[in-house]
């Protein structure tokens, strides 16, 4: 029997997750079907419940529903509890819903794949949503000298920073509070999906700095288009997507796929 999984989000038609998990299933010989489901803005819970009633065993959750998924779960992992956000749902045989967060693992593995060193570096993270929450613990584990969170709502960034202050030197505020140069600037907002650029100041990138957008598209995102001429080395979120998907696949199937050929296949499907 083929087990059913899905990705739930809005928007979700652009998602490469079905292709990624099809590649993983083919590579490992796992019998599974994976589809994309666009949930209504206020209808995440009902969309998941309908999918589960139709035989769904698990799902990935993308913007803007990661915090909704956290609230829906009966139990969650340590990293999901820390993030207060869930991107991986697992339906137990007893009908209880378990949530995990593989975003941070995905980002950390992608940065390591590209040999981006964080130790003693300044890191700026733009945004304070579920994806950023999921990324903070593994990023701070790499002992950067400082992590700064900048968000349109300064209070949300400040509260988020205080939630993780026990793990390292971290602060949060509005865009007007950004000061100095950074070695890594991560766009953790979904603004790129709408072609919007956060209001970032000039002089943001230190020599040899990286600009990382958690989003990806067939062309470089507007954030990366802005960062490139300002001297940054560019990375999009495609590798993070593959790596977090591999961790979800492992949680569902107890098999760890090889991400390298899937990375290459997806990269070839883009225009850059």
pLDDT digits (tens, 9 = 90+) for 171-182: 999 999 999 999
Is the same domain home to 33 and 128?
no
Residue 245 labeled ligand binder:
no
What does the DSSP 8-state code read for residue 214? S
- Higher model confidence: residue 152 or residue 191? 152
Q: State the total domains in the chain.
A: 2
Position 228 confidence tier, pLDDT thresholds 50, 70, 90: very high
pLDDT band at 216 (very low <50, low <70, confident <90, very high): confident
In the block, tokens 């209001």 appear at: 199
Q: Report how far apart the first and last C-alpha atoms of the chain are (Å, whole number).
A: 39
Which residues are tagged catalytic? 66
62 marked among binding-site residues: yes
* Cα gap 186→197, rounded to integer Å: 13
The range of the structural domain enclosing residue 252 comes to 3-100+239-271
Does residue 272 register a pLDDT over 70?
no
Give residue-wise pLDDT tens across range 111-121. Answer: 999 999 999 99
For residues 229 and 126, state if they share a domain.
yes
Same domain, 267 and 226: no
- 269 among annotated binding-site residues: no
Q: Across the strands, what pairs with 33?
A: 4
Percent of the chain scored above 70 by pLDDT? 99
- Is residue 192 scored above 90 in pLDDT? no
Whether residues 131 and 230 share a domain: the answer is yes
Residue 195: predicted pLDDT = 85
Residues 21 and 96 reside in one and the same domain: yes
Whether residue 170 sits in one domain with residue 92: no
pLDDT digits (tens, 9 = 90+) for 124-140: 999 998 889 989 999 99
Indicate which CATH number applies to the domain containing 11.
Answer: 3.40.50.10860
Same domain, 169 and 117: yes
Asked if residue 138 and residue 222 are part of one domain, the reply reads yes
The answer, yes or no, to whether the previous bond of 64 is cis (omega within 30 of 0) is: yes
The answer on 194 and 78 residing in a single domain is no
Average pLDDT over residues 30-34: 97
pLDDT at residue 129 in the model = 87
- Kindly report the CATH number assigned to the domain that includes residue 202: 3.40.50.720
pLDDT at 218 over 90: no
| pLDDT greater than 90 at residue 63 | no
What's the confidence (pLDDT) of residue 258?
Answer: 98
Both 220 and 267 in one domain: the answer is no
Residue 155 among known ligand-binding residues: yes
Q: What is the DSSP string of 89-154?
A: EEE-TTS-EEEE--HHHHHHHHHHHTT---TT-EEEEE--SHHHHHHHHHHHHT--SEEEEE-SSH
Q: Say whether both 226 and 115 belong to one domain.
A: yes
Q: Are residues 173 and 228 in the same domain?
A: yes
């Amino acid at each position: 029997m083929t087990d059913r999984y899905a990705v739930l989000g809005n928007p979700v038609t652009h998602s490469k997750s079905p292709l990624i998990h099809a590649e993983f299933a083919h590579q490992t010989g796992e019998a599974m079907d994976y589809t994309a489901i666009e949930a209504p803005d206020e209808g995440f819970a009902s969309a998941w419940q309908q999918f589960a009633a139709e035989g769904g065993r698990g799902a990935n959750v993308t913007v803007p529903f990661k915090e909704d998924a956290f609230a829906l779960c009966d139990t969650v992992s340590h990293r999901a509890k820390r993030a207060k956000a869930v991107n991986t749902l697992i339906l137990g045989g007893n009908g209880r819903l378990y949530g995990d967060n593989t975003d941070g693992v995905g980002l950390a593995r992608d940065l390591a794949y590209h040999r981006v060193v964080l130790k003693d570096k300044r890191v700026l993270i733009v945004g304070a949503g579920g994806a950023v929450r999921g990324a903070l613990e593994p990023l701070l584990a790499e002992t950067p000298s400082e992590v700064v969170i900048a968000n349109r709502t300064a209070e949300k960034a400040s509260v988020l920073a205080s939630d993780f202050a026990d793990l390292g030197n971290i602060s949060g505020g509005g865009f007007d509070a950004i000061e100095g140069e950074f070695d890594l600037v991560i766009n953790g907002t979904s603004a790129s999906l709408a072609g919007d650029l956060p209001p970032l100041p000039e002089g943001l990138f230190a020599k040899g700095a990286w600009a990382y957008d958690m989003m990806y598209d067939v062309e470089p995102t507007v954030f990366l288009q802005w960062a490139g001429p300002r001297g940054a080395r560019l990375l999009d979120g495609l590798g993070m997507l593959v790596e977090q998907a591999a961790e979800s696949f492992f949680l569902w199937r107890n098999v760890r796929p090889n991400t390298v050929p899937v990375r290459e296949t997806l990269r070839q499907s883009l225009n850059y």
